[in-house]
Chain A
């Protein structure tokens, strides 16, 4: 069952960047792609739980700031060592300038 939660405003995220979002004790990362599309994943790297919001976004890739592991944030796919486990992604919709995540 869908559980849409308002996470941020679209203006809160620069293009090709990421911000954190915390909800109910869990951390998430919200991305704005260079093409102005929005995505959301778990907020911690699957390698050693470093916060991805401090990382580098390049095109469709988020790079963890600790060990430079990379994920495709549009699919969650881990792109090579040291990240071997994919990130969980969450559906996102934008409505009237607000970014919503489906945490259901």
Chain B
């Protein structure tokens, strides 16, 4: 039952067309009403906040890297390694995300540059993941369409736990790099990456592999782990917060819906987490209005919170809900968290009975 259910997530299977036939692919999603003049203010771009935050981020990375190099060989290096690892292996995800959207900066080349750097750090091909994330926004948690569902039903718990230290993501990333360097895509990637974009994938993979080859060569020649600890290694030992943050986005919530309030979560976080996560904790707001830059998301939250279930007060509060829900979904794949909206909120948008969050019934297998 679990294996059959998991097969439904494949973009190369029959669920892809079934989602199209059900009107869930490229569907019309609910949006809270925000007056155009106010939305224009919220969408407005500037380079300042992202330049400041990126300077701080790179400054911390360089400073911590210098400390790691200076203290290498001593146990005192460990806290600096951990801090460096989280900034590199976890925080690069939010930089990848925001710069991929193009909203962090007004100046496009700044966003592109940060996107390329963050993509390398997080071990994602910038082209395939741009298109993957585009599909994720079009068809968020639609079975057979969304390639970025982190917690499926039933959840691959061993994989999720192993990825707290990148033990699945990193080998998969390298397998993909080798595949891409050889000029090939996966079946899922071929579903959403246009033909004219694919040469970039092959080229980038060769560049990334070249950097890792040099890193490993330097480590071997000088007989030290230090180069790997600084480049690539953080994607393993520094990945924990990436998973902790990412699962708060959609885990345990509705599938096959056309209302982000049913499949996405907003979680209040402290200033440190919001710096590391670049305000992606305002995830309902981000999905509903992806053109609003990260530094305006708190304002957008204030603008639309009357239409949303209350934001979770903390990461801990979110996980008090996520963990039991994901565990329950191991045996009951129809179960999902459905939160009550506050009085006066626009009702949940459910254009069909199938779009209630459980996921539509399994597509019938054509007769032989």
Name, among A47, A79, A80, A82, the residue most crowded by chain B CB atoms within 10 Å (CB to CB). Answer: A82
Query: Quick one: which of B40, B43, B134 contacts A67, CB cutoff 8 A?
Result: B134
Mask, A53-93, CB within 8 Å of B = 1, is 01110100001111110100000000111101000000000
A56-B40, A56-B43, A56-B45 in contact; A67/B196 too (CB < 8 A)?
no
Query: Is B197 located at the chain interface by the 8 A CB criterion?
Result: yes
Q: Is the CB of B102 within 8 A of A63?
A: yes
B103-130 contacts to A (CB < 8 Å): 103, 106, 108, 127, 130
Residues of B contacting A68 in the complex (Cβ-Cβ under 8 angstroms)? 101-103, 290-291
Interface residue SS majority, chain B: helix
Query: Quick one: which of A17, A66, A81 contacts B290, CB cutoff 8 A?
Result: A66
Residues of B contacting A66 in the complex (Cβ-Cβ under 8 angstroms)? 137-138, 290
Query: Is A48 located at the chain interface by the 8 A CB criterion?
Result: yes
Q: Is the CB of B40 within 8 A of A70?
A: no
B181-225 contacts to A (CB < 8 Å): 194, 196-197
Residues of B contacting A80 in the complex (Cβ-Cβ under 8 angstroms)? 108
Residues of B contacting A65 in the complex (Cβ-Cβ under 8 angstroms)? 43, 289-291
Query: Quick one: which of B43, B103, B131, B137 contacts A81, CB cutoff 8 A?
Result: B131
Give, as a whole number of angstroms, the nearest-CB distance from A66 to chain B.
Answer: 7
Residues of B contacting A58 in the complex (Cβ-Cβ under 8 angstroms)? 45, 106
Query: Is B351 located at the chain interface by the 8 A CB criterion?
Result: no
Q: Is the CB of A82 within 8 A of B291?
A: no
Mask, B1-45, CB within 8 Å of A = 1, is 000000000000000000000000010000000000001100111
User: Which residues on A are within 8 Å of B, measured CB to CB?
Assistant: 17, 47-49, 54-56, 58, 63-68, 70, 79-82, 84
20 sampled A-B residue pairs with Cβ under 8 A: A17-B40, A48-B26, A48-B138, A54-B39, A56-B43, A65-B289, A65-B290, A65-B291, A66-B137, A66-B138, A67-B134, A67-B138, A68-B101, A68-B102, A68-B291, A79-B108, A82-B131, A82-B134, A84-B196, A84-B197
